[in-house]
Amino acid sequence: MKVALVNPCWTYEHSIYFGCRQPHLPLELGYSKAMLDADGHDVLMLDGLLQGLDNAALAERVASFAPDMTVVTTAPTYLFWRCAPPELRVPGEFLNHLAGGGGRTVAVGPHGSATPAPTLRKLGVDVVVRGECEEVVAELARQSDWSKVAHTARLQGEGLACNGGVHASPFVDHPALTWPSDWVAAHGHHHHRFDTFQKGAGAEVEASRGCPYNCSFCAKIDFRDAYRRRKHDAIVAEIDGLIAQGVGYIYFIDEIFLPQKALLEALVDRDVQFGVQTRIDLWKPELLELLGA
């Protein structure tokens, strides 16, 4: 099957979005591509901001590829699923330009996870994935009858038909992601870094997913909730690949970066700086020394 994965060209005119507006690696699409590639599918992955393509140009690329299925995300990356742009204007604009030229259509992201019916009606897609999306996208590519695919929702007449609840990925066995070199070169942004001269490209990596705490401001109810830690070797392999592509700074998108001695020791040995979101009261003095090494 031919599958297009699209992170649309995000613009924020008249938006109340308060998050970062710089380009970021679309991790959810990266994981989906890795699983689709493993299943032997022909995959086109596009990112409007990193490739300098507006939504009309993205739609033209997709239509030329002539996929059987097009997947569009409604948040710029997994990093922002918990604080996404509230409106659906940007993915809607891409889909309007696509105008049926991308085969069957799928929306992934926080909007369809939390409010599937309005998301389906506003975007006009065939199905939305509810919850973390990568395994569900791979299953949609395997199945011809999408009504049988769990963790999805679709419109049926005037009503909503849901198949199962929200999906939580096992996550721990996710492979090391690889990214096109031109995407990495275009990623000059060092997320949440304000300290000094920035050397090298930036990138995002995920070492863990979810959080054991329940802060009132964090929208993690329908996705990225239960805490899971990715296997060490895959994380380090992904980081080494990024460093080889010129990355000098990595931001770990983890909801909470809990102490991992082996990972910290690996980072000390590598020419890369990194940023995290954590709780300092969870760290012992010897691990704090590693964190700042």
Mean of pLDDT over the chain: 95
pLDDT at 293: 63
Phi-psi group of 50: left, alpha or beta (phi > 0 → left; psi -120 to 50 → alpha; rest → beta): alpha
Range of the domain at 31: 2-163
Strand partners, 251: 204, 275
The set of residues, in sequence order, having a beta carbon less than 8 Å from that of 20 and lying 6+ positions away, is 80, 189, 191, 192
| Domain contains 176 | no
Q: In what order do the strands lie in the sheet with 201-205?
A: 201-205, 247-252, 273-275
CATH number at residue 100: 3.40.50.280
Query: Is 188 found in the same domain as 87?
Result: no
| Domain contains 153 | yes
- The whole-model pTM stands at 0.95
Nearest Cα to 153, choosing from 213, 94, 195, 111? 111
CATH number at residue 190: 3.30.750.210
| Domain contains 173 | no
Phi-psi group of 131: left, alpha or beta (phi > 0 → left; psi -120 to 50 → alpha; rest → beta): left
Query: Is 142 found in the same domain as 69?
Result: yes
Query: Is 82 found in the same domain as 154?
Result: yes
pLDDT at 67 over 80: yes
Query: Is 208 found in the same domain as 154?
Result: no
Average pLDDT over every residue of 202-226: 88
Provide the number of structural domains found in the chain: 2
Query: Is 227 found in the same domain as 126?
Result: no
Identify the band that residue 237 occupies on the pLDDT scale cut at 50, 70 and 90: very high
| Domain contains 9 | yes
